[in-house]
Structure 1
Amino acid sequence: MITLHGFAASNYYNIIKHTLLYKEIPFQENLIFTGSDELLAVSPMGKVPAITAADGISLSESSVICDFIEETYPAIPLYPESATERAAVRQIMKIAELYFELPSRRLISYVFSGTDAPDALKQEVRQVLARGIPALNRLCHFSPWIAGKEFTMADIYVHYVNAIVNVVGSTQLDWDVLAEIPGMKEWSKTMRQSDIGQKIEADRVASMPKFMTHVKAQIQATQSK
């Protein structure tokens, strides 16, 4: 059985969790936070998520894990058969990660601490997001799914990328970023209302008190050095 290591407050962790649930793959969860030797044992960079496969091999990096799961458990596919269409799905995922998730993540510590990020940093993030918006406008179809008629890994990936974009946009940038992409908010609502989406959100909410206790302890440890 696969073991999924990490914590439910992580959007990348939830990408893998959603994938496993959608593909009906048995797995167990191992609650583990960053900064621990236990995590380093399964994730070389100490990043969440990581998995330990049935054969005992551990893997990290969400895109790597997604590909491993798809190749190892192909029965319920999340990528199209055509190589060109598969590449198109991965292109959406990569652009969403590089131009939506990663720049937004630069502000996430300010979200957790309830403080306001420096204006210069906000402007840098805005500039990168402004590059990603027209790219995703050109690539996303929402007919009804993000890459076209079939539900794919891009739907899962972008849904949890948007979780970071939403919270950063609303709390730090005063900007409804998703509204800039026609069809994105309606699609996001569909994703949230799915049975799997609701389960993962419930687990995320339930995990937040323990996660915030961990975050506060990390901040205090840093300040005391």
Structure 2
Amino acid sequence: MITLHGFAYSNYYNIPKHVLLYKGIPFTEDLVYGSGEGYERLNPARKVPSMTTSDGQHIAESSVLCEYLEDMFPEPALLPKDPFARSRVRQIMRCAELYLELPCRRLLPFVFTQQTPPESLCEEVNAMLDKGIASLSEFCSCDPFLIGSEFTMADIYVRYVLSVVDAGAAVLKRDIVSEIDGLKDWRSRLAGDPISKQIDADVEANKEDFFAYIASRN
């Protein structure tokens, strides 16, 4: 059986977890932080998530785990059959990560410490966010899903990317979701999905332990 390693408060952990649940793939969870003893055997970079396949192989990086699961368990599909549509799904995922999530992640230390980030950093992050907003505004229809009528990997990926975006962008006093036409309603629809509710409950249950872990490292 597949084992997913990581912790529920990680948005990157929840991406492949949602894929596993959506596809109905049996799996177990190994709730562990990347700094845990022996974790480098699962992923030398010590990042979460990682995954142990049913035959004992270890793989890591959220997007790689998702591609593996799609290859191994193609139904129900999370990538369209049309090559251009598949590329659009991947483009949305990549733009959301590069131009929204990663810039906002730079602000998380200031979220945790409640300090004001340097103006130069805010300018850099805002410039990248503008690129992300322009890209997703162009590529996403949000009617009812990101590429239209078909629920895809992009819907899962962007949903959990936005959890970091919300936290980081709040420092800048920006509401990124509201700046992309249709994304707010799309998000509300996904939040009502039973899998989303299950994962959100697991995130909340892990919150106290996660912040205790962060405090223990300071």
- Output the TM-score relative to the length of structure 2: 0.97
Equivalent position of 1:17 in the other structure:
17
CA–CA distance in 1 between the matches of 2:86 and 2:162?
21
Structure 1 residues 136-155: aligned runs within 5 Å: 136-155=136-155
Which amino acid in structure 1 is aligned with residue 44 of structure 2?
Answer: P
CA–CA distance in 1 between the matches of 2:39 and 2:122?
31
CA–CA distance in 1 between the matches of 2:116 and 2:30?
33
Equivalent position of 1:209 in the other structure:
208
Gaps of 5+ in 1: 220-225
Gaps of 5+ in 2: none
Equivalent position of 2:97 in the other structure:
97
Equivalent position of 2:168 in the other structure:
168
> How high is the sequence identity, in percent, across the aligned residues?
44
CA–CA distance in 2 between the matches of 1:3 and 1:197?
20
Equivalent position of 2:186 in the other structure:
187
Which amino acid in structure 1 is aligned with residue 180 of structure 2?
Answer: I
Deviations 1:75-115 (A, max 9, x none): 21100111221111101100111000111111112222332
Which amino acid in structure 1 is aligned with residue 61 of structure 2?
Answer: E
Three-state SS of the structure 2 residue aligned to 1:5 is strand
- Taking only aligned residues, the RMSD between alpha carbons, in angstroms, comes to 1.0
CA–CA distance in 1 between the matches of 2:105 and 2:98?
11
CA contact 1:44–1:60 (8 Å) conserved in 2:
no
Equivalent position of 1:134 in the other structure:
134
- Output the TM-score relative to the length of structure 1: 0.94
Deviations 1:121-178 (A, max 9, x none): 12211111011111110000111100111000000000001111112222x1111111
Equivalent position of 1:61 in the other structure:
61
CA contact 1:99–1:131 (8 Å) conserved in 2:
yes
Which amino acid in structure 1 is aligned with residue 190 of structure 2?
Answer: M
